[in-house]
Structure 1
Amino acid sequence: MTTNSAVVLADAASYAAAVEEATRAAAAYYATGESTLDDDAYDRLARGIAAYEEEHPQEVLAGSPTGKVAGGTATGDVPHTVPMLSLDNVFSAEQFVTWTASVERRIGRPVTAWSVEPKLDGLAVAVRYHEGRLQQLITRGDGTAGEDVSHAIGTVLGLPERLEDPVTLEVRGEILMTDEQFDAANAARTAHGAAPFANPRNGAAGTLRAKDRPYRVEMTFFAYGALALPGSGGLAETLTGLPHSEILRYVAGLGVHTAADTAVAPRTAATAEEVRAGVEDIAAQRATLPFGIDGIVIKADLAADQRDAGTGTRAPRWAIAYKLPAVEKVTRLLGVEWNVGRTGIIAPRAVLEPVEIDGSTVSYATLHNPADITRRDLRLGDRVMVYKAGDIIPRIEAPVAHLRTGDEKPIEFPESCPRCGSAIDTGEQRWRCTRGRDCRLVASVSYAAGRDQLDIEGLGGTRVVQLVDAGFVTDFADLFTLERDQLLGLERMGETSTDNLLAAIETARTRPLSRVFCALGVRGTGRSMSRRIARHFATMDRIVAADAEALQQVDGIGKEKAAGVVSELAELAPLVAKLVAAGVNMTEPGATPPPEPGAVREEEAEAGEGAAAGGRPEGLPLDGMTVVVTGAMTGALEKLSRNEMNELIERAGGKSSSSVSKRTSLLVAGEKAGSKRTKAEDLGVRIAEPAEFAEMVGSFLG
């Protein structure tokens, strides 16, 4: 989780400068989202200010953001019926335990129910309904009054114009942009000559307040609470006594959008340990969510506990934000490298001024394609917003346009292939060398022969270069037609090394379909996806014959990726035909192909049940289980690579995963298992030693 680092302020002058900088940044942040500081930098500055003030209370400046909603910079002229406050933060499990103890001391009893929910990275708003009709939309402002932004009604998904019941109440929540809405917003802005938003929060802040734009931008609302308004009748008494979790369910029943139908749905917990498990689970989903979160909100669920804990001037004492590590920071774009992939794709890569994000130093980021650079109006020297979450490759969201100095320079695009000098096919968004895979033939063949693909021992990069230079190999299918005399004619190839290489190639001929498909290097697929595709279709001819709709039945393949796979398989058809002619295996052991549309397999008709969806027969030892492997394997598993372990798991009916969460069924823990074992123990996940796991899947160990 996030460390509690803070900017160190040595004297009154540095403190005053920090207050000025924080106030200026907060004012821009709450006005348009265009702060001069990213969230992590602002948090560290604010903590430094608070620490200085704690040590020097006599020097506290009136303009300090400490203890103020929105840093004391936001304003509004629409009074809130009940103050709309911020949340205090914790940054570690230890701080959270200390906070829960303070809540229980304050109320004089243990808290028996906690609510755990995502902290959405948007703008807090109050939404007023009168007799079931949407009437007014108000920003949080300074907590006592906000700005009327009702002109945005109609652009916010999740806020029905009419509720299911004709009640009068105020729903509070966050307005944000999903990733899809953010991309659509920037496409609309750049099409109209405007600078793209730097990040989704910037987009939501700017859009919520904008009027009379010549284009429409959508946002999404997520409710996190509700309260009765004057004229609501008995609803006030009802809501006052309901637990927070029941209020969310009530609001959802009225038709208002909540996080209940997402992967990070609010949940209740009875103990601090259960809360921590909920925090870990939501944090684990962060990288895959279609919207941003920057933490987890924990609240005392019962109304009585909230009442007895009380509320401060800035934040309630019964709720806290457990902040997650920053995944977004501002740094400088120093240059652009143009790299050619093994399929001939010419991919730009951003060279960045190094910046630490989520515990690692980021010096490079993906730029996708030349059209993406143009659309985002990126320039050398730009201050850019860089995003990283989980294991995702860092990417640049957009330039922070308001920080430009005028010294930025255009990015130059290559006029010919940076690797071989051939022409470039610019007909699609992703540029490609006209020689395609031939541009990177050595890389393509070396990849196919790699350990996680065909695993041809003795065929390293130097040997591949020899084969290509001699004209023996024009694609990796040619490996299977190599003759002994050809190899003996190569430099440093004696009889023993030749025979060993031919034996390794012969073994590769029998590899399972999943490895052969992975060796093809189809864009958008890798080791895990290749296994899923092979398990689903069972044979290569079924994969090649599949259309985009059929491919979308495979877990993790969407419409766009499916179309790309179909297109590339058509291009690879001659290579697949050569592999078939060379006698390379084209089936996946243990996989059962899906039935033809409208067909019923004979065994299903007889038994009333058959192979599981996706080509996996029932009754396998790991059927329906999500398995994580960590640490060094021993015994029968000692020589298996991590990819081979994942293959073993999937052959045995399970699903391999790289992270432990409450959805994990089994952790295979080898020597030096480390933090994953600790987390599994905390979550109550079943743990198996390598020997026990080998016994479980014994019949699948080949």
Structure 2
Amino acid sequence: MTDMTTPAAVIVDATAYAQAVEDAVKASAAYYADGTSPLDDETYDRFVRGIAAWEADHPDEVLPDSPTGKVAGGSVEGDVPHTVAMLSLDNVFSPEEFTAWTSSLARRIGHDVACFSVEPKLDGLAIAARYTRGHLDRLITRGDGTAGEDVSHAIGTIEGLPRELAEPVTVEVRGEVLMTTAQFEHANEVRTVHGGQPFANPRGAAAGTLRARERAYTVPMTFFGYGLLPRPDTEPELAGRLGELAHSDLMARAVGLGVNTTATTAVPGITVATVDQVLARVQEIAVLRAELPFGIDGIVIKADRAADQQAAGSGSRAPRWAIAYKLPAVEKITRLLQVEWNVGRTGIIAPRAVLEPVTIDGATITYATLHNPADITRRDLRLGDHVMVHRAGDVIPRIEAPVASLRTGEEQAIVFPEVCPRCGSAIDTSEQRWRCTNGRNCHLVAALSYAAGRDQLDIEGLGHTRVVQLVETGLVADLADLFTLTRDQLLGLERMGATSTDNLLAALGTAKDQPLSRVLCALGVRGTGRSMSRRIARYFATMDHVRAADAETMQQVEGIGPEKAPSIVAELAELTPLIDKLATAGVNMTEPGATPPAVATTDAADDC
């Protein structure tokens, strides 16, 4: 397993220690208030580990404001007392640290833990939801752990947190309020429409939205429960039963009451018996992280049995029977230096952010996607901005939003191109994704190289260099021209001998017989790829049927919805001259083994 240890910040003296405490406290206050912290998670963790290391060596000089002795969010004030302290979790960052923690826990309770609960650590805002006889009547934030802020005005806006439980019980459900990726995008769209700055990340969006009382709009959030406990006025029999249940059984009980938990997600909470099994599950969740529709920043491991939890007890800041295994940060703050405008193979003009290099999850990130000009405008991005950059797994890094609180006034507006940056032609700005009016001909080399690729027509011997040569000599002006090349034309090219020529002609001949699905993929219709091209070809069977389909018919293909269908139909219409040339050149236009869809006909005899 990869070592995920976050190194501690180096603190050299009492002055540096005091400054680190001050910076960490300010960052924590901003983070737990509205998510506008000037420090990303990894930087904050480095500060806290450095502070803890210095305090271990100087126990008589610990400042009272130090974050090491406080519950997460402890700088946020609250006036609603918690019936049971709402603690945060201590962290580990590597298998070695986790193994050391389990050994310490075993010494504390007098035996090895027989059962661990393993759940994703959700990157949201902790709240306590109080139910009286099954009715949700109060929501409270964690605050300083002993008292939190009343946010009951948000009742009814949080998915997964029902107003009424399935049974009329008096209990408290604890969990995380967060925004899924889709909810975050929607929230920023709504927020910017109403004149607000976009949120830097989903956690900040959830924190700000949960506390907002007088907004002219509402946006959805999602709740995931991680705890269920009795309240003082809970019936004694129920309170006794809840107090004896293992954590995994409590979560099953919460699900039965209608509360959302991770049970239905791609990373449900599970129980395992050994340290090795815990670490294996940590690795599994780390691999799945990039595919999740919500953010996680680690894995929570708990002693599952109630007796073990009671024997371990809790400190002032965190329980001793639970730990957070932190994963590498997937978000970092860096600066937006430039915006490049690149032209793709279909003529799409795509902006790309040039960043001050930053390391995220072991990779140095210099570029990030910006999607389209509308995305830049919506996020109110400016050159020189500090921006939150997100990367998970192999996902292309993206800019979430500017960190507006760090602006100095020297940031500059991003200038959009007025003509195609590649060929100087006009730009079609009628859709969100701008496109050169020359379309594929603007970047013919890229379009042909893509068409010749392994997943498309698989034309061996037609690499990028050869494509450039064919285009620059004027022998090829579109995809169809490849199939009319003669032996004499190819022999006339520099560094093109008889063997290479014959091999390329043979490869082109083989490409003519590729199934319709590969021909469709080679055309590079926007919104389609290898899998979608295969589904279209198998549904319609012939190119004639594909081209005859209207948007409604195109939606019959799995995965094509009402938004994508019209653009596919329109682009196929634009490609009519090229498709006709390909057919004339002898390129196959059918899908082997596929049957055309039935076409409704009218029997004339039945009309009488």
2:485 paired with 1:453: no
1:407 match: 410
Q: CA deviation at 1:462?
A: 4.0
1:378 equivalent in structure 2 = 381
Distance 1:113 1:540 in 2: 59
Trace 1:427-442 onto structure 2 (pairs within 5 A). Answer: 427-442=430-445
Correspondence for 1:204 among 203, 206, 209: 206
Aligned position for 1:302: 305
Amino acid at match of 1:31: A
Alignment of structure 1 residues 406-555 onto 2, 5 Å: 406-527=409-530
Question: How far did 1:231 drift?
Answer: 2.1
Q: Which residue of 1 aligns with 2:605?
A: none
Q: How far apart, CA to CA, are the structure 2 residues paired with 1:312 and 1:146?
A: 19
SS of alignment partner, residue 226 of structure 1: strand
Contact 1:294/1:326 (<8 A) preserved: yes
Deviates more, 1:172-181 or 1:553-562: 553-562
Which stretches in structure 1 are left out of the alignment for 5+ residues? 600-702
CA distance in 2 between partners of 1:561 and 1:116 (Å):
40
Which whole-Å CA distance do the structure 1 matches of 2:20 and 2:557 have between them? 53
Pairwise CA RMSD of aligned residues? Answer: 2.6
User: Which residue does the alignment assign to 1:673?
Assistant: none
Residue 177 of structure 1: aligned partner: 179
Shift of 1:595: 9.5
Aligned counterparts of 2:110 and 2:219: Cα–Cα separation in 1: 49
AA of the residue aligned to 2:252 = R
1:369 pairs, out of 349, 369, 372, with 372
Distance in 1 separating the partners of 2:302 and 2:560: 37
Q: Deviations over 1:316-342 (max 9, x none)?
A: 111111111100010000010000001
Deviation at 1:573, TM superposition (A): 4.3
Shift of 1:468: 2.8
Range that drifts further, 341-350 or 176-185: 176-185
Any idea what SS the aligned residue of 2:68 has? Answer: coil
The equivalent position to 2:16 in structure 1, one of 14, 17, 20, is: 14
CA distance in 2 between partners of 1:56 and 1:44 (Å): 18
Percent pairwise identity: 71
In structure 2, how many angstroms separate the alpha carbons of the residues matched to 1:88 and 1:78? 24
Number of the residue aligned with 2:39: 37
The answer on whether the counterparts of 2:539 and 2:596 sit within 8 Å (CA) in structure 1 is no
Counterpart in the other structure of 1:155? 157
Matched, 1:90 2:74: no
Greater shift in the superposed pair: 359-368 or 487-496? 487-496
C-alpha distance 245-204 of structure 1, shift in aligned 2 (>3 A) = same
SS at match of 1:66: helix
Deviation at 1:313, TM superposition (A): 1.1
SS at match of 1:72: coil
Question: Residue 14 of structure 1: CA displacement?
Answer: 1.1
Superposed CA deviations along residues 570-628 of structure 1, whole A, max 9, x for unmatched, are: 43344344334433345667xx65896999xxxxxxxxxxxxxxxxxxxxxxxxxxxxx
Tell me which moved more, 107-116 or 48-57: 107-116
* One-letter identity of the residue aligned with 1:271: T
Output the amino acid matched with 2:18. Answer: A
Local SS of the residue matching 1:441 = helix
**Displacement after TM superposition at 1:211 (Å):** 1.1
Mapped contact 2:545–2:596 kept (Cα < 8 A) = no
Residue 361 (structure 1) shift: 0.4
Measure the CA separation in 1 of the matches of 2:383 and 2:234. Answer: 57
1:348 lines up with 2:351 in the alignment: yes
Contact 1:2–1:326 (CA<8 Å) still a contact in 2?
no
Partner letter of residue 33 of structure 1?
G
3-state DSSP of counterpart to 2:526: coil
Deviations 1:437-483 (A, max 9, x none): 01011221122123443332333334323433444322212211222
Residue in structure 1 matched with residue 273 of structure 2 by the alignment: 270
Partners in 2 of 1:329 and 1:538 — Cα distance?
A: 48
Name the residue aligned to 2:289. 286
Task: Give the distance between the partners of 2:417 and 2:302, measured in 1 at CA.
Answer: 54
User: Shift of the alpha carbon at 1:546?
Assistant: 6.8
Distance 1:509 1:188, change over 3 A: same
The correspondence of residues 604-683 of structure 1 with structure 2, limited to 5 A, is none
Partner deviation per Cα, 1:650-694 (whole Å, 9 max, x = no partner): xxxxxxxxxxxxxxxxxxxxxxxxxxxxxxxxxxxxxxxxxxxxx
The DSSP-based 3-state class of the residue aligned with 1:390 is: coil
Greater Cα shift, 54-63 or 408-417: 54-63
Offset of 1:82 from its aligned partner?
0.4
Cα deviation digits, residues 546-573 of structure 1 (max 9, x gap) = 7778877888766655665454444334
Preserved CA contact (<8 Å) 1:65 1:71: no
- Structure 1 residues 346 and 75, CA gap change in structure 2 (3 angstroms): same
SS of 1:350's partner is: strand
After the TM superposition, which residues 181-192 of structure 1 pair with which residues of structure 2 at under 5 Å, given as runs?
Answer: 181-192=183-194
Partner residue in 2 for 1:606 = none
The equivalent of 2:112 in structure 1 is 110
Deviation at 1:497, TM superposition (A): 3.4
Paired with 1:545 and 1:273, the residues of 2 have a C-alpha distance of 58
> Which amino acid is the alignment partner of residue 405 of structure 1?
T
SS at match of 1:69: coil
Q: Deviation at 1:285?
A: 1.7
- Which residue identity does 1:504 align to in structure 2? A
Change (3 A) 1:135 1:593: farther
d(CA) in 2 for partners of 1:266, 1:368:
35
Distance 1:433 1:511 in 2: 30
Aligned mates of 1:586, 1:504 — CA distance in 2: 18
- Among candidates 5, 14, 17, match of residue 3 of structure 1: 5
Q: 1:47 aligns with which of 36, 49, 64?
A: 49
SS of 1:282's equivalent in the other structure is: helix
In structure 1, what is the equivalent of residue 603 of structure 2?
Answer: none
What letter corresponds to residue 484 of structure 1 in structure 2? R
Where does residue 140 of structure 2 map in the other structure?
A: 138
- Cα distance in 1 for partners of 2:415, 2:562 equals 32
- Which shows bigger deviation, 56-65 or 328-337? 56-65
Q: Which residue of 2 aligns with 1:62?
A: 64
SS in 1 for 2:284: helix
Equivalent position amino acid for 2:402 in 1: P
Aligned to 1:689: none
SS in 2 for 1:128: strand
TM-score, normalised to structure 2's length?
A: 0.92
Q: 1:256 and 2:259 equivalent?
A: yes
Q: Which amino acid aligns with 2:391?
A: K
Match of 1:631 in 2: none
1:183 counterpart letter in structure 2: E
Equivalent position of 1:81 in the other structure: 83
Contact 1:357 1:388 in 2 (8 A): yes
Q: Counterpart of 2:350 in 1: which secondary structure?
A: strand
Unmatched tracts of structure 2, length 5 or more: 601-608
Correspondence for 2:604: none
Hey, what's the Cα distance between the residues in 1 that align with 2:283 and 2:560? 27
Deviation of 1:523 after TM superposition, in Å, equals 3.0
CA distance in 1, matches of 2:226, 2:596: 45
Q: Partners of 2:272 and 2:591 in 1: how far apart?
A: 44
User: How far is the alpha carbon of 1:2 from its aligned partner?
Assistant: 2.2
Q: Figure out how many residues of one structure are paired with residues of the other and give that number.
A: 597
Q: Could you tell me whether the CA contact under 8 Å between 2:6 and 2:45 is conserved in 1?
A: no
Amino acid at match of 1:428: E
